[in-house]
Structure 1
């Protein structure tokens, strides 16, 4: 029993890391704006909170849906994770020149919401699977907040050459978990 519990937590940590890669990539770009440390703390907190709220909503909806569709829920969750992973990998190769939002007020909320959308979909899949809600949302929130802070601080030093590789890594991890649900 303890072994499967530890395996589940490790799986959630990897998923949280994969989802946090998007926030990390965006943070690298934001960090190049030479933000003050107080602003960096606030941006990380906002992204962490959104990475708690969005998967929580997804898990609740996923549990509701799984009650209605039964065993099909695990397959649907696997397909959903696989689809999100593939989308992240494809988006890594699409280079568009988006204007970076200012991480204040509405801009901060828009950034936090945007980078946490993937966690809503993953939460939906995990809700269908029957994952433990508290462990998932705490793990997703803390990891994304830490990756955001690291990205913002590194962004002050690095000039954005890591972005595409982070999204590919995150997408690959989600694809792996999706395939594991489908095959395993």
Structure 2
């Protein structure tokens, strides 16, 4: 069976949207990976990010058309604030040395906070997605797959770059998070 050109166009649009949403996970994964992350943690983080990239658009779809104008800017601002806080804490921790504990991606709270910060924009996309997508399950599964795979790529790249940067890797990673947080707010 051959898909119609409209179905192929819709699938291509969904894949492009998934890549765009996954780029946040990729970029922020570089920042987290620079402070040093184990391979098992990369797998856990990526799975949780993938799950959040499925859940958040679904939540957005259920919120309905009325909430889209309200939540679009609020969700982005909340994600930006979270990233600024996490980034500032990472920079502060790296400059203070061992006295201050850094953002810990291996704890449930830290992992949830990170996954939420990279997938919050999926919520606002999901609000409008319900009117666009014909196959909701396929759409959110594509979002989840791209979010998880792109976070793996970002974390691995950050891990490799972090080895080159040395002890300042956490500060650079925090600066990346700060920059994306500010970008979300502007």
| Corresponding residue for residue 158 of structure 1 | 161
Q: What RMSD over aligned residues (CA atoms) do the two structures have, in Å?
A: 3.2
Q: Can you list the C-alpha shifts for 1:116-163, whole angstroms capped at 9, x where unaligned?
A: 1100100001113354211210011000000000000000123669x6
Shift of 1:107: 0.3
Any conservation in 1 of the 2:10–2:133 contact (CA below 8 Å)?
A: no
| Corresponding residue for residue 14 of structure 1 | 16
Shift of 1:99: 2.1
Any conservation in 2 of the 1:9–1:135 contact (CA below 8 Å)?
A: no
Shift of 1:61: 2.5
Q: Can you list the C-alpha shifts for 1:60-91, whole angstroms capped at 9, x where unaligned?
A: 333xx3xxx8xxxxxx78xx88x79xx79xx7
Q: 1:145 aligns with which of 116, 135, 148?
A: 148
| Corresponding residue for residue 73 of structure 1 | none
- Larger CA Rg, structure 1 vs 2: 2
| Corresponding residue for residue 125 of structure 2 | 122
1:4 matched to 2:1? The reply is no
* Higher percent of residues as helix: 2
Any conservation in 2 of the 1:59–1:133 contact (CA below 8 Å)?
A: no
State the alpha-carbon separation in 1 of the partners of residues 62 and 9 from structure 2.
23
Q: Secondary structure at the match of 1:99?
A: helix
1:35 matched to 2:37? The reply is yes
Q: What is the count of residue pairs matched by the alignment?
A: 148
